[in-house]
Chain A
Amino acid sequence: MQAIKASSFHLPRLNPVALITLAAASLIGAPVAIAILTGVIGGGGDAWLHIVSTQLLGYTMTTLAVIGLTATLILLFAVPTAWFVSLNEFPGRGFFEWALILPLAAPGYVLAYAWADAADVAGPIQSLLRDVTGLSARDYWFPSVYSIPGLSFVMASALFPYAYLTARAAFSNLSLCTMEAARSLGASPRRLFLQVALPAARPAIFAGLALALMETAADYGAASYLGVQTLSVGIFRAWHSFSEPAVAARLAVLLILIAFGLQFIERVARGRGGIQQTATRWRTPRRQKLGPVAGWGVAIGCTLVLMLSFVIPVSRLIWVSAETGLGQGQIVRPFLNSLTLALAGSAFAFVLALTITIGARQNRFSQFIGRFAAGAGYAAPGIVLALGALFILSWTGFSVAGPAALIFLVWIYASRFTAAGAEPLNAAFSRAPASLGNAARSLGASRFQRLVRVDLPVAMSGASAAAIILFVETLKELPATLMLRPFNWDTLAVQAFAYASDERLAAATLPSLLITAAGLGPVVLLSLQLTRAGQSRAAG
Chain B
Amino acid sequence: MKTTMKTIASVSFTALLAACSDGGTAPAASDDGTLSDAAVESGETTGSIQAGSKGTLNIYSARHYDSDKLMYEAFEDQTGIRVRFREAGANQLLETMRAEGENSPADLIIASDAGALWRFKDASLTQPLPEGEFEQLIPERLLEPGRQWVGLARRIRGVAYDPERISPDQVDEWQDLADPSLEGEICVRSSTNIYNLSLMAEMIEKWGAEEAQSWADAVVTNMARTPQGGDTDQVEAVAAGLCSVAITNHYYWVRMTQSGSNATREAAAATQIAFPSFGEGEGIHVNITGVAMAANAQNKNEAMQFVDYLLSSDGQHRLVDETKEIPVIEDVTWPKGLDAIPEFEDSDTPLDTFGERQSEAQRIYDEAGWN
Contacts and interface: CB of A to CB of B under 8 A. Distances in A.
B86 A241 contact: no
Given A120-B236, A121-B242, A396 B16 contact: no
Contact of B190 (A45, A227, A323): A227
B64 A502 contact: yes
A399 interface: yes
Given A330-B69, A483-B96, A401 B105 contact: yes
Interface string B45-74: 000000000000010000010110110000
B40 interface: no
Interface string A221-256: 000000100000000010111011110000000000
A159 B70 CA distance: 38
Contacts of A394: 7-8, 10-11, 99-101, 103
B333 interface: no
A503 B230 contact: yes
Given A122-B267, A240-B95, A487 B241 contact: no
Contacts of B104: 399-400
A10 interface: no
Contacts of A239: 95
A237 B94 CA distance: 13
A227 B100 contact: no
Chain A interface size band reads 35 or more
B229 A487 contact: no
Nearest to B17: A45
Contacts of A498: 64, 87-88
B66 A399 contact: no
Interface in A382-418: 390-391, 393-402
B261 to A, nearest CB: 5
B230 A324 contact: no
Interface stretch (A136-144, A199-207, A344-352): A136-144
Between B4, B10, B64, B88, the greatest number of chain A beta carbons within 10 A of the residue's beta carbon is seen for B64
A487 B184 CA distance: 46
A400 B69 CA distance: 21
B302 to A, nearest CB: 15
Contacts of B242: 121, 137-138
A200 to B, nearest CB: 44
Contact of A146 (B94, B96, B229, B259): B229
B317 to A, nearest CB: 15
Contact of B261 (A323, A329, A503): A323
Contact of B100 (A324, A327, A395, A400): A400
Interface in B1-41: 3-4, 7-8, 10-14, 16-17, 20
A390 B105 contact: no
A329 B66 contact: yes
B17 A400 contact: no
Interface string B224-248: 1101111111001101111000000
Interface string A497-511: 011011110110000
Contacts of A240: 89, 91-92, 94-95
A320 B260 CA distance: 9
Given A122-B267, A390-B99, A395-B4, A325 B236 contact: no
B91 to A, nearest CB: 4
Contacts of B94: 240, 243
Interface in B240-268: 240-242, 252, 255, 259-263, 267
A121 B66 CA distance: 29
B336 interface: no
A43 B16 CA distance: 12
Nearest to B96: A400
Q: Is chain B's binding surface mostly helix, strand, loop or mixed?
A: helix
Interface string A479-500: 0001101111010000100110
Nearest to B63: A502
A420 to B, nearest CB: 26
A401 B240 contact: no
A364 B87 CA distance: 46
B100 to A, nearest CB: 5
B92 A483 contact: yes
Contacts of A393: 99
Contact of A503 (B10, B67, B252, B267): B252
Contacts of A502: 64
Contacts of B16: 243, 245
A461 interface: no
Contacts of B11: 391, 394-395
B100 A122 contact: no
A482 B88 contact: yes
B300 interface: no
Nearest to A240: B91
B100 A126 contact: no
Contacts of A146: 228-229
Contacts of B263: 122, 124, 127
Given A227-B228, A240-B91, A487 B86 contact: yes
A243 B89 contact: no
Interface string A512-529: 000000000000000000
B20 A399 contact: no
Given A395-B4, A401-B84, A483-B92, A121 B99 contact: no
B85 A138 contact: no
Contact of A488 (B17, B84, B88): B84
A243 B95 contact: yes
Interface string A450-471: 0000000000000000000000
Contact of B4 (A116, A137, A244, A397): A397
A116 B229 contact: yes
A10 to B, nearest CB: 33
Given A144-B228, A240-B89, A482-B92, A399 B237 contact: no
Nearest to A39: B13
B3 A397 contact: yes
A487 B85 contact: yes
A58 B339 CA distance: 46
Contacts of B310: none
Contacts of B260: 323-325, 506
Contacts of A136: 241
A7 interface: no
A507 B236 CA distance: 18
A487 B240 CA distance: 42
Interface string A39-64: 00111010000000000000000000
Given A227-B190, A487-B58, 17 more contacts: A43-B13, A122-B233, A136-B241, A137-B242, A146-B229, A239-B95, A324-B259, A394-B99, A397-B4, A398-B103, A400-B104, A401-B86, A485-B86, A488-B84, A488-B86, A503-B232, A506-B261
Interface of B: 3-4, 7-8, 10-14, 16-17, 20, 58, 64, 66-67, 69-70, 84-89, 91-92, 94-96, 98-101, 103-105, 123, 184, 190, 192, 224-225, 227-233, 236-237, 239-242, 252, 255, 259-263, 267
12 contacts: A41-B13, A130-B240, A137-B240, A146-B228, A227-B229, A240-B89, A327-B66, A395-B7, A397-B4, A397-B103, A401-B105, A487-B58
Interface of A: 38, 41-43, 45, 116, 120-122, 124, 126-127, 130, 136-138, 144, 146, 227, 237, 239-241, 243-246, 320, 323-325, 327-330, 390-391, 393-402, 482-483, 485-488, 490, 495, 498-499, 501-504, 506-507
Give the 9 A-B residue pairs with the shortest CB-CB distance, closest first. A42-B13, A122-B236, A324-B260, A240-B91, A146-B228, A498-B64, A394-B11, A487-B84, A329-B66
